[in-house]
Amino acid sequence: MRDPLNDSYYIASAGECAADAPLMSDIKADICIIGGGFTGLSAAVACAEAGFDVVLLESEQIGFAASGRNGGQMIPGFNMAATDLIKLVGEDVGQQLCHLAMSARDRVHARIERHNIDCDLQHGHIHLAAKKNDFAYLEDEVAFSDRLLGVGEAVLVAPTDIDRYVNVSGYHGGVYVPKGGHLHPLKYARGLKRAAKSAGARIFEGSRAASITEGEKVVVRTISGSVTARYVFLACDAETGDLAPKAGRYTMPVLNYIIATEPLGEERARALIPSNAAVSDSKFVLNYFRLSADNRLLFAGGEKYTPKPPEDIAAFVRPYMLKLFPQLLDTRIDYAWGGTVGITVNRLPHIGREGNKLFAHGYSGQGVLLTTLVGEVLAEMLKGDSRNFNLFEKIPHRAFPGGKLLRTPTYVAGMLYSAMMDRL
């Protein structure tokens, strides 16, 4: 049956890719990775390159969930202002985390180059201030980033200069990050899969991990086989709670939707976004958009805090697009899809370990770059250098209140309130 959430432009444009066979026997490995999104794949490449015997289990196909459906926006840093991060974890740890997060972009570029991944890579990201106060906030961030990371990592854009980057009105300025950008996420995921396999990782698709038995060795069981390993790494993002209920309490699934217009032609597309940068704004329920390699506008706006998607995703997102780009009134929408974003209370990723069970989830809408970093940090840790992994573990997190059944309604009330404040 056709899945309306998975009718994406990415599937239509990524080309054919043969799936790997499911796990059909009992095997051994050094590390069993559960989840074939960016986190699991990056960990698989990095661990296999470091000499570990790696098995990766993916319940569907590689890139099936958020990693194959996202906006493709490469947004450097965390989904929290650096100044706030430092307030949260202190000057020393905060600065180290900022440097680490900023290294993610170079790591993704290195992967793309080293493994020759053709994924429609483009440079530049601009974040727009929806309110005057937001612009003042961005000014502080840019000054801070100049001090911490060096001048030019982030460039303040005055309200009158916005149209050099993107042709929208109603914003109060922005910040342009040349080291940001965008890519075709499904092509990147498949490129990582090829890289992991050529480094020696064994990948099984259609292989849902049903249970984990803990002990000196962990045993991960699927319906038709098992993996006995020294470590298990849960890279299931929004689904972590199914296998690790304790860690799962720290993330909340939120559905988010994207549409792709018909191809607009280069001239019309560039009239919308002259810089060809990825664009996002500071609204609580943010708009984010960019051009595709074949000159479509890929636009995301609106969130729905219920487990059920809207009947007609295109009709749900289109008004947000038309509000910014009324000139697209007659433009056809060719694709509309959605996916689950795993978010944490503070919007920072939740990364840690419970014995030999390791996990990383909750990138809160900013996982395109951070996931590759996390996979590499995991491999460093297994090799004996846990400095960077420990840094992530120093981020304090709060579980969502209310347990599995109650946390959704409690959270929905909070999100709706914030969205309403946004409109006011």
Please name every residue paired with 255 in a beta bridge, in sequence order, or none if there are none.
304, 340
Q: Which stretch binds ligand FAD (CB under 6 A): 105-113, 197-205, 234-242, 320-328?
A: 234-242
Would you count residue 302 as binding ligand FAD (CB under 6 A)?
Answer: no
Q: Of 239 and 281, which CB lies nearer to ligand FAD in the complex structure?
A: 239
Residues 75-134, interacting with ligand FAD (CB under 6 A): 75
Q: Of 39 and 145, which CB lies nearer to ligand FAD in the complex structure?
A: 39
Is residue 289 within 8 A of residue 259, CB to CB? The reply is no
Determine which helix (DSSP H) or strand (DSSP E) holds 140, and give its type and residue range.
Answer: helix 132-149
Would you count residue 287 as binding ligand FAD (CB under 6 A)?
Answer: no
Least distance in Å: CB of 361 to ligand FAD? 6
Among 31, 47, 72, 201, binds ligand FAD (CB under 6 A): 72
Sign of the C-alpha dihedral, residues 104, 109, 111, 112?
positive
DSSP 239-255: GHHHH-HHHHTT-EEEE
CA distance 298 to 292: 7
Least distance in Å: CB of 38 to ligand FAD? 4
CB within 8 A of 424, min separation 6: which ones? none
Would you count residue 341 as binding ligand FAD (CB under 6 A)?
Answer: yes
Least distance in Å: CB of 70 to ligand FAD? 3
Among 23, 33, 39, 286, binds ligand FAD (CB under 6 A): 39
Would you count residue 165 as binding ligand FAD (CB under 6 A)?
Answer: no
Q: Of 92 and 214, which CB lies nearer to ligand FAD in the complex structure?
A: 214
Q: Of 77 and 94, which CB lies nearer to ligand FAD in the complex structure?
A: 77
Joined together, the tokens standing for residue 44 give 């698989």
Would you count residue 279 as binding ligand FAD (CB under 6 A)?
Answer: no
Is residue 122 within 8 A of residue 294, CB to CB? The reply is no
CA distance 169 to 128: 10
Joined together, the tokens standing for residue 358 give 């390791």
Task: List b or e across 203-212, with b for residues whose CB sees 16 or more CB atoms inside 10 angstroms.
Answer: bbbbbbbeeb
Joined together, the tokens standing for residue 142 give 């840019």
Q: Which stretch binds ligand FAD (CB under 6 A): 164-172, 230-238, 324-332, 413-421?
A: 230-238
CA distance 286 to 73: 13
Least distance in Å: CB of 91 to ligand FAD? 26
CA distance 310 to 257: 9
Q: Nearest-CA neighbor of 374 among 28, 33, 20, 14?
A: 33
Residues 197-216, interacting with ligand FAD (CB under 6 A): 208-209
Among 49, 134, 237, 303, binds ligand FAD (CB under 6 A): 237
Would you count residue 247 as binding ligand FAD (CB under 6 A)?
Answer: no
Among 11, 55, 73, 226, binds ligand FAD (CB under 6 A): 73
Among 11, 29, 59, 296, binds ligand FAD (CB under 6 A): 59
State the number of binding residues for ligand FAD (CB under 6 A). Answer: 43
Rounded (5°) CA angle 177-178-184: 95
Q: Which stretch binds ligand FAD (CB under 6 A): 120-128, 139-147, 237-245, 381-389?
A: 237-245
Least distance in Å: CB of 234 to ligand FAD? 8
Does residue 371 sit in helix, strand or coil? helix
Least distance in Å: CB of 68 to ligand FAD? 7
Q: Of 76 and 133, which CB lies nearer to ligand FAD in the complex structure?
A: 76
Q: Of 129 and 378, which CB lies nearer to ligand FAD in the complex structure?
A: 378
Would you count residue 343 as binding ligand FAD (CB under 6 A)?
Answer: no
CB within 8 A of 359, min separation 6: which ones? 233, 234, 235, 240, 244, 247, 350, 351, 352, 353
Measuring CA to CA, how many Å separate 265 from each of 118, 256, 269, 292, 293? 22, 27, 6, 11, 11
Would you count residue 180 as binding ligand FAD (CB under 6 A)?
Answer: no
Residues binding ligand FAD (CB under 6 A): 34-40, 57-60, 64-67, 69-73, 75, 208-209, 235-239, 242-243, 256, 258, 288, 338-341, 363, 365-368, 371
